[in-house]
Structure 1
Amino acid sequence: MSKSCQASYLTDARYWAARHAAEEADPTLPGSWAFNYNNAGWGAEVLLAEAPDGEAARLRVAQFLRAWIDGKNDYGDILLVTKRGLAYLPADTTGGAEREPLPHAAAAALAALAHAAGPGGAALPRAARARLECFALGQITYMLGGQVGRNRGYLTGFGPRAPLAPRQMASSCPPGSRGRSPPACSVPALLGGDPNPSPLAGALVAGPGEDDSYTDARAAPGAGVGVHYNAPLLAALAGLLQSNAGPGQCQGAGGGILRELLSVN
């Protein structure tokens, strides 16, 4: 925020944020509340809320967080919460071909943690800050396999029932053996039904359906992976390390799973 606090940078940032909100982010459309690689506006709003005289941004951020935590805000119903606790933005509202509920929820968790830790959060009652942090903890715990009712991890190579067949080309190709080069990667190898022959560790898949169901197959919806999926997850994990949200402080947080990943004693 050092440059943003300089008058010229801050003026420009507020101008473009206001134009984005007015011209590109219809608040009545659920997809406008997605924070992702294609819509970084909400990240900018969180930063602007930390700047001097950031009340307008803080109000917009409050609407964003209400949408994600309560499922609705002043503009109506925005998203749903699955039976096992995932805040779920329907796929057909976000403009993407693939449903991406987990990256969207991770980004919302990141925004909640950043706001709770900033000046906007400092002005909130302690219980309100705790709610932001516990929302983030619950969403990240879901992704790591500690969701209510059934343990299913969504990070390859970690936790219970981790995905074995993410849709990633190199991982889908058979490895070489005895010093030989790996065989050519083919479409049948990519779309076959067996687990990936080459391990892919630490990748967040796009995620389950609205009913928490997930088919562990490369051709299935939600099996995609990407750096832009992992980015909000890792940032949210860093935020949780710096927050007051602990395994014993948030009901249903599934602390053992999170403690294992973060090496928290």
Structure 2
Amino acid sequence: MKTVVFNGKEYAKRIENEVAQKVRDLKNDFDITPKLVSILVGKNVSSVLYTKLKKQAAQRVGVKFKIKKFNSNTKASEIMKYITQNNLDDKTHGIMVQLPLPANLAQSTKHIVQSIAENKDVDGLREDRGFVHPTVKAILSALDIAVFSGKEKIVVVGSKGMVGSKLIKNYEAVGVDKNTKNLEKITKSADILISCTGVPNLIKKNMVKEGVLIIDVGAPKGDVDKGTYKKAKFVTPVPGGIGPVGISYLLENLAQAAYNQAIIHTS
């Protein structure tokens, strides 16, 4: 059986080209350039890396990308105050918080995210979000390419995380975590296995069945051991799979947010 390996970088390029055109249209029609404020708390290596990648993508499509850095010991109230200031700024069209936050702010994550105005929550983190989480959009795009019929059994490993919880909430799927009893038995029953735990090489080849569709959302290293690919008919690799597509969809959400806000201001 030949394994189809999803080329996320090529797919992301197509999305970026579409976003770049929307950005040009926004400039021509409304004389605005979309602006995204990304909040980075602490010096988590993965968070710093992904913020850098998002800024690079933003430059490619022509949007403004501001990084606001806070020390890891910053109080939640200070971060929320900054978010409120940008909620009221007409020149800021999107606000996001790079997760995970430092341990001392973990319990405040929900409150911080909920302080982002709904129309500027381009990362789709709010519970009453107006935008679909970019990573979820990327996963669904990959499944469409893999000819997802909707009848397959989906198992999400990491179902309590930010991405996993949204998949479980909105789609019929079995949710498990890395410490779930009989994890191997459950993952082996999946037609589609989505893993988003952040635990490198958690999923071994003995944990999946032949012909499975594997969506690896691990970061910065894959959740799925590459030896597992041989048993899959479709796989999203790490790096170069879901990651770049998710970033392109973040920028797509930003362009849409800017358009929505422009329409309101001109009506």
Q: Same fold (TM over 0.5)?
A: no
Larger strand share, 1 or 2: 2
TM range (shorter): under 0.3
TM-score, structure 1 length as denominator? 0.25
The structure whose Rg is larger is 1
Higher relative contact order (CA 8 A, sep 6+): 2
Q: TM-score by structure 2 length?
A: 0.25
